[in-house]
Amino acid sequence: MLPPRVKVRFSNLGLASSTLLWPRERLSQLQINELDKSPLGFLLINNGTDVSTQTESGTSRSSQTSFENQQKRSQTRKARNETALKLLDSDEIKIITDHIQQCYVDDANFSIQSLHADLQNLYDYPYSPTTLFRQLKALRYSYKLKAYNPFCTTREEIISWRARYLRSMEELREQGAFICYYDETWVYHGMTKTRGWNLTDTNPYLVANMGDLKKPRPGFASSSDKGRRAIVLAVVTEAEILPGSVDIVIPNRNPSEILVDYHQYMSSELYIEYMKKVLPQIVAATPTGRQAVLVIDNASIHNTLVDKLPTKGSKKCDLLAFLEKHNIASAVNATNNELWEEAKSIMEANGGRDAMKRYFVDEYAESLGVKIVRLPPYHCQFSPIELIWNQLKTHLRSAGKTTDKLEVVADRAKAWLKNTNESQIAWTYEHILEIEDGIKLVMDEDDESWELDDASDM
């Protein structure tokens, strides 16, 4: 049986064209039959309008043409990069990648020009810097913000968590689960672009002093991300931003006390109250016969326990209460260390401390039939709502002015979130699938953690 959303690609753009997630009910029976028999795992259609003509609103010809042109340019660049890469044999590729890896280890910055010079010294690299650039692109290197976090690849518990998460999500998708994602972000007053067209000949203060007094403004006023902030909360489903989930909270605190990290002033109580309101809406939005799943991150405010588990430093009364709850009689005159050893034995017998943790929101969600899944630490790239936040902030900065009050920015954010369309959401979900598939490929090749669960079951 086909999943609720199937993969579609355009044949006129080639097999390497972007994949779109499309609702199964919008396909014709002929297309469904074709997809059932296809070994490719996606539906290859003749042009970009075969499917969109079955939607309620359709797709404008101009936007479709723009999309096709972008895809063709992308394919041309990829083909050019692949052609450049074919100039290298496997030994040369290894020399290049090993040298780049050593630069990472040594924390040695390099540019295309300096890398080109290094490779010429290493083995008389015969090609131009431009060809080297294209070869790096074909090898999936790009010049971007440094974002490597060693915790993700060196801490065993995070490696195992990531493997469990990816396996769990793969199984849930195969079962046709209705997967939603929750997250928070922030907006601030006067939210506008940080860049604009300004005079470049001198600094704005000198221009203001020496210029025409009738035109005292030499450029745009600088934007600021300091001052009053608001927390934006929302849940994204595979088709929309859940309408009743959009909430914007303006903390009643002095601006000087508001930190950049909104987790510092968003409480677990606020999170619990929000979930009590939103979880029933997720249940109502879930199609009949599908498992509702809500993916959240691992922030401490999301992890309020039903029963607090003791630690070695717990008070004696807390240790005694824990033992009594598990029907263990202990002498009142026993020392804290003795009580702790008994408590530790109980936790170990029940699978360990983590296995005994029962989260308040998880328990409530389970009572409604919703499964809570937590992202591994430092892996926000697995959540499509992060892409929604990026689009939201781009919109707010484009539409905003430095004089906008926080309430104006909040209303603008709420209106934008409520008017997102299905194609925006589908793109974010597909992008996340590509990220997960890429990481699983790397794990299969270079990391045994993807097989940890199988090995432990043998």
Report yes or no on 430 lying in a domain.
Answer: yes
**CATH code, 414:** 3.30.420.10
With tokens 């297309």, the residue in question is: 31
Among 138, 172, 207, the domain-final residue is: 138
| Boundaries of domain holding 331 | 316-356
User: Does 341 share its domain with 370?
Assistant: no
Strands 5-10 and 178-188: unpaired
User: Does 267 share its domain with 397?
Assistant: yes
Q: What is the mean pLDDT of each successive set of 10 residues along the chain, which is 458 residues long?
A: 65 53 70 71 56 41 54 78 92 94 91 94 92 93 81 74 92 95 92 79 58 62 76 93 90 51 66 93 95 93 83 81 77 78 80 80 94 92 94 93 91 93 91 89 60 48
Give pLDDT, residue 167.
Answer: 92
User: Does 110 share its domain with 248?
Assistant: no
Report yes or no on 45 lying in a domain.
Answer: yes
Q: How far apart are CA 340 and CA 43, in angstroms?
A: 60
Query: DSSP labels for 296-345?
Result: E---GGG--BSSPPP-TT--HHHHHHHHHHTT----TT--HHHHHHHHHH
Report yes or no on 247 lying in a domain.
Answer: yes
User: Does 113 share its domain with 218?
Assistant: no
User: Does 346 share its domain with 437?
Assistant: no
User: Does 328 share its domain with 368?
Assistant: no
Report yes or no on 40 lying in a domain.
Answer: yes
- 398 touches 176 (CB < 8 A): no
Alpha helices, DSSP H, located in 230-267: none
User: Does 113 share its domain with 222?
Assistant: no
User: Does 337 share its domain with 372?
Assistant: no
Q: How many domains does the chain have?
A: 4
User: Does 103 share its domain with 205?
Assistant: no
Widest Cα–Cα separation across the chain = 88
* Predicted TM-score of the model (pTM): 0.66
User: Does 199 share its domain with 229?
Assistant: yes
Report yes or no on 150 lying in a domain.
Answer: no
Q: How far apart are CA 114 and CA 119, in angstroms?
A: 9
Report yes or no on 351 lying in a domain.
Answer: yes
Tokens at 426, concatenated: 């589908």
User: Does 352 share its domain with 371?
Assistant: no
Q: Which residues pair with 7 in a beta bridge?
A: 21
User: Does 239 share its domain with 337?
Assistant: no
With tokens 């039959």, the residue in question is: 33
CA 80 to chain centre: 30
Report yes or no on 404 lying in a domain.
Answer: yes
Report yes or no on 128 lying in a domain.
Answer: yes
